Chain A
Amino acid sequence: MIDPQGKGSIIRLFHVHKNYGAVKALSDVTVDISKNDFLFITGPSGAGKTSLLKLLYYGEPVSEGQVLIDGMNLSRISHKRIPMLRRKFGIVFQDYKLIPTKTVFDNIAIVLETIGKKRRFIEKKIRSVLRTVGMENSIHSLPPTLSGGEQQRIAVARAIVGDPKIILADEPTGNLDEDSATVILDLLKKFHTRGATVIIATHDKELIRKTGGRVIYLKQGRILPIIPPQNVRQ
């Protein structure tokens, strides 16, 4: 499963441990994720799925072990380079992390403004991604006026607007009804076919079964070596 050369892999975790004080969230996790993978991280609540994602974009530092992202070694990353690292990712957070006092447009625009895109481009691009997620009518709304599912779609729009190499989604369908969940999943798949690496953390086995793809099982912070085959549709 692990390619020792690491060729073609965009993410490598090597004997990673993550502790929050006395809580061991992840123990001895070694994973290799290749470019253009479509990967599920699953396991019961509290298994360490969110923690694992956080390590990738340096939302949290590792306690032990090595994390390599697209050629960057996160144990040696300087404060200055963290934004560079994060621009490789488009992240759909479990709690969306939308700024409540900024409009949908302004929330999404930050991603493009910070990399110095022109106003004209930003407007066009945002309209286009909002159309993709079916939220073009909410462009000037404030996030708190939207439903959970709608906010989630805005979060997806923000994640894909910068055309990132890697998309991380933490329980992206947690607040959605069946149909909306399918829409979001289709979007992520579309991004995958365009060349992005997609990593989805979810406890929803049904979702994985319907979608298919590589699966990593976490339990109490450890990767289970056996992938129950009945859960993967080929």
Chain B
Amino acid sequence: MIIYFKRAIKDILEHRFLSAVTVVTISISILIASAFTLFFINANAIVNSWKKGIRIMVYLKPDIPDIKVTAIQRNIREMKGVKDVRFISKKEALKRLKDQLGRQSSLLDNLKENPLPDAFEIQLMETFQNQDKIEKLAARLGSLKPVDEVEYGQVWLGRFTNILNLFRLTGFAMGSLFLVATVLIVANTIRLVFYSRQKDVEIMRLVGATDGFIKAPFYIEGLIQGALGGIIGLGALFVLFMFISSNMGRELTSSLFTIRFLSWETFLGIWGCSMFVGWIGCFVSLKQFLKP
């Protein structure tokens, strides 16, 4: 094992320029792929947090008796796509409004009568959070007799998800393309190193070396280049991330949403991918050599 490592490092140092070009290529590919990943992870998180806010408000006609209210609530709870139904009495609604208004709540003190209706707040199941389904459910709710009005917002989020999916697809395609290109570049580097070593390889075979023994250092070389390229690419992403997030303005990022760097799992996953790319590149180029 140690011998293989020594041989691999010697090869890399002996072909410094070639190895450097390969490592830089890998870093750029990894930078692009991981930037896409970072973007999607954050965009997804943001959309999901907004989606939690998708709800349907059902306002009731005035003076519906309590028994009827519980009956309707039970009825709604049975409907497809409904995760939770909460009754908000007009009293509670007024209190909420006062809380929201804060200092200006004194405006409401002059009211003789509570003008707000009783209402149900409906939380939707995740699978139901798209425009079509929400509209259908709203129509059904609206057809209930005691219901005065149905209100729902943020339906555009559904469409936003579609756009995001399209972006994701593009990202995937571009990422794969870059990775394939990287594999070919690594393969080419290994090929050139191998060619320069062909005489040595021939001698090693003559004294009884197996293909495995001959190939191992090249694989290690591929892995080392992949690891180096990966860590440089991810490091560059981190620097860019710090730069952008510190320039985005704290108030914007903290109030609306928080953007995060890649989790450790993702980071290590991408790094692993990068090493795998090095390994595969080596595999591709050595497959055609060492044939009988």
Return chain B residues, CB-CB under 8 Å to A102.
Answer: 200
Q: Which of A99, A115, A119 contacts B203 (CB under 8 A)?
A: A99
User: Could you tell me the distance between the alpha carbons of A98 and B2 in the complex, rounded to whole angstroms?
Assistant: 22
Return chain B residues, CB-CB under 8 Å to A57.
Answer: 206
Return chain A residues, CB-CB under 8 Å to B205.
Answer: 82-83, 86
Q: Is the interface of B mostly helix, strand, loop or mixed?
A: helix
Q: Does chain A have a CB within 8 A of B204? A: yes
Q: Which of B2, B199, B210, B291 contacts A114 (CB under 8 A)?
A: B210
Judge whether B3 and A113 touch: CB under 8 Å. yes
Judge whether B206 and A158 touch: CB under 8 Å. no
Return chain A residues, CB-CB under 8 Å to B208.
Answer: 83-84, 86-87, 89, 111, 114-115, 162
Q: Does chain B have a CB within 8 A of A91? A: yes
Most chain B CB neighbours (cut-off 10 Å) among A82, A84, A110, A162: A110
Judge whether B292 and A83 touch: CB under 8 Å. no
Q: Which of A84, A101, A111, A119 contacts B207 (CB under 8 A)?
A: A111
Q: Does chain A have a CB within 8 A of B209? A: yes
User: Could you tell me the distance between the alpha carbons of A79 and B210 in the complex, rounded to whole angstroms?
Assistant: 10
B177-212 interface bits toward A, Cβ cutoff 8 Å, 1 = contact, 0 = none: 000000000000000000000011001111111100
Q: Does chain B have a CB within 8 A of A233? A: no
Q: Does chain B have a CB within 8 A of A6? A: no
Nearest CB of chain A from residue B233's CB, rounded to whole Å: 32
A23-55 interface bits toward B, Cβ cutoff 8 Å, 1 = contact, 0 = none: 000000000000000000000000000000000
B35-79 interface bits toward A, Cβ cutoff 8 Å, 1 = contact, 0 = none: 000000000000000000000000000000000000000000000
Q: Does chain B have a CB within 8 A of A205? A: no
A105-131 interface bits toward B, Cβ cutoff 8 Å, 1 = contact, 0 = none: 000001101110001000000000000
User: Could you tell me the distance between the alpha carbons of A192 and B210 in the complex, rounded to whole angstroms?
Assistant: 27
Q: Which of A89, A91, A114 contacts B209 (CB under 8 A)?
A: A114
Judge whether A158 and B207 touch: CB under 8 Å. yes
Q: List 11 A-B contacts (CB under 8 A).
A: A82-B292, A83-B210, A93-B206, A97-B206, A98-B203, A99-B204, A111-B207, A114-B207, A114-B209, A114-B213, A162-B208
Question: How many interface residues does B have (CB within 8 Å)?
Answer: 15
Shortest Cβ distance from A164 into B: residue: B208
Return chain A residues, CB-CB under 8 Å to B207.
Answer: 86, 91, 110-111, 114, 158
A contacts, CB < 8 Å to B: 57, 59, 79, 82-84, 86-87, 89, 91, 93, 97-99, 101-102, 110-111, 113-115, 119, 158, 162
User: Could you tell me the distance between the alpha carbons of A175 and B205 in the complex, rounded to whole angstroms?
Assistant: 25
User: Could you tell me the distance between the alpha carbons of A140 and B203 in the complex, rounded to whole angstroms?
Assistant: 19
B contacts, CB < 8 Å to A: 2-3, 199-200, 203-210, 213, 291-292
User: Could you tell me the distance between the alpha carbons of A110 and B203 in the complex, rounded to whole angstroms?
Assistant: 10
User: Could you tell me the distance between the alpha carbons of A99 and B205 in the complex, rounded to whole angstroms?
Assistant: 12
User: Could you tell me the distance between the alpha carbons of A86 and B208 in the complex, rounded to whole angstroms?
Assistant: 5
Return chain B residues, CB-CB under 8 Å to A89.
Answer: 208
Judge whether B200 and A99 touch: CB under 8 Å. yes
Return chain B residues, CB-CB under 8 Å to A98.
Answer: 203
Judge whether B200 and A86 touch: CB under 8 Å. no
Q: Which of A59, A84, A101, A114 contacts B204 (CB under 8 A)?
A: A114
Return chain A residues, CB-CB under 8 Å to B213.
Answer: 113-114
User: Could you tell me the distance between the alpha carbons of A59 and B207 in the complex, rounded to whole angstroms?
Assistant: 11
User: Could you tell me the distance between the alpha carbons of A84 and B208 in the complex, rounded to whole angstroms?
Assistant: 7
Return chain B residues, CB-CB under 8 Å to A84.
Answer: 208
User: Could you tell me the distance between the alpha carbons of A36 and B210 in the complex, rounded to whole angstroms?
Assistant: 27
Return chain B residues, CB-CB under 8 Å to A111.
Answer: 207-208
Most chain A CB neighbours (cut-off 10 Å) among B206, B208, B291: B208
Q: Which 3 A-B pairs have the closest CB atoms?
A: A79-B292, A87-B208, A86-B208
Shortest Cβ distance from B14 into A: residue: A101
User: Could you tell me the distance between the alpha carbons of A82 and B209 in the complex, rounded to whole angstroms?
Assistant: 9
Return chain B residues, CB-CB under 8 Å to A115.
Answer: 208
Return chain A residues, CB-CB under 8 Å to B204.
Answer: 99, 110, 114
Judge whether B200 and A83 touch: CB under 8 Å. no
Other A-B pairs beyond A83-B209, A91-B206, A91-B207, 16, CB < 8 Å: A57-B206, A79-B291, A79-B292, A83-B210, A89-B208, A97-B206, A101-B200, A110-B207, A110-B209, A111-B207, A113-B3, A113-B213, A114-B208, A114-B213, A119-B2, A158-B207
Shortest Cβ distance from A86 into B: residue: B208
User: Could you tell me the distance between the alpha carbons of A102 and B200 in the complex, rounded to whole angstroms?
Assistant: 9
Return chain A residues, CB-CB under 8 Å to B209.
Answer: 83, 110, 114
User: Could you tell me the distance between the alpha carbons of A57 and B202 in the complex, rounded to whole angstroms?
Assistant: 13
Most chain A CB neighbours (cut-off 10 Å) among B199, B204, B206, B291: B206
User: Could you tell me the distance between the alpha carbons of A101 and B206 in the complex, rounded to whole angstroms?
Assistant: 17
User: Could you tell me the distance between the alpha carbons of A42 and B209 in the complex, rounded to whole angstroms?
Assistant: 30
